């Protein structure tokens, strides 16, 4: 059976937020969002990671945010949730409203790499390596 990584939800939040590491920066708070095609990070987070927003990979509107203007898309070398890591992800740079209390969204580009279970009874996100056929 594949290894199961159990990542606790951050307490006292209405949405499922987890501690994440981006590149070499630990203690980033992202909301697990199965409706987000791509991981999203705030402008401050992008700057804190030393990413040059004047020279993004490209500019692209966000889907599901209404008619967003084109936003910078940047490269993340590493996204880690618990012990589960994905190398080489693109992330959109967009500031979530302050009421979310998070540095961004953990999107499907990360989540689809795992078998994902939201264990609401124990308040954990379970990430399993997919079985190979």
Mean pLDDT for the chain overall? 93
| 21 assigned to some structural domain | yes
Q: Could you please report the per-residue DSSP string of 21-84? A: EETTEEEEEEEE-TT-SSEEE-HHHHHHTT--TTS-SEEEPPTTSSSPPPEEEEEEEEEEETTE
Q: Do strands 58-60 and 104-106 pair parallel, antiparallel, or not at all (unpaired)?
A: unpaired
Quickly state the pLDDT bin for 131 (edges 50, 70, 90).
Answer: confident
Looking at residue 65, what is its pLDDT? 60
In a domain, 133, yes or no: no
CATH (domain of 63): 2.40.70.10
Q: Is the pLDDT of residue 103 over 90?
A: yes
In a domain, 112, yes or no: yes
How far lies 84's CA from each of 4, 30, 64, in Å? 9, 14, 27
Largest CA distance in the chain: 45
Q: Above 90 in pLDDT, residue 3?
A: no
Distance CA 22, CA 88 (A): 11
Number of structural domains, the chain?
A: 1
Structure tokens at 25: 């920066």
pLDDT digits (tens, 9 = 90+) for 13-70: 999 999 999 999 999 999 999 999 999 999 999 999 999 999 999 999 987 666 778 9
Domain that holds residue 84: 4-128
In a domain, 24, yes or no: yes
pLDDT at position 66, please? 65
């Amino acid at each position: 059976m594949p290894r199961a990584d159990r990542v606790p939800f951050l307490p006292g939040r209405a949405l499922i937020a987890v501690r994440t590491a981006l590149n070499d920066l630990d203690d980033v708070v992202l909301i697990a969002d199965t409706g987000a095609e791509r991981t999203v990070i705030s402008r401050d987070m992008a700057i804190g990671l030393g990413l040059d927003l004047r020279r993004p990979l490209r500019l692209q509107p966000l889907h599901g945010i209404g008619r967003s203007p084109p936003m910078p898309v940047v490269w993340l070398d590493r996204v880690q949730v618990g012990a589960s890591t994905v190398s080489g992800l693109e992330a959109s740079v967009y500031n979530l409203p302050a009421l979310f209390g998070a540095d961004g969204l953990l999107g499907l580009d990360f989540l689809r790499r795992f078998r994902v279970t939201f264990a609401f009874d124990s308040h954990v996100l379970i990430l399993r390596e997919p079985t190979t056929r």
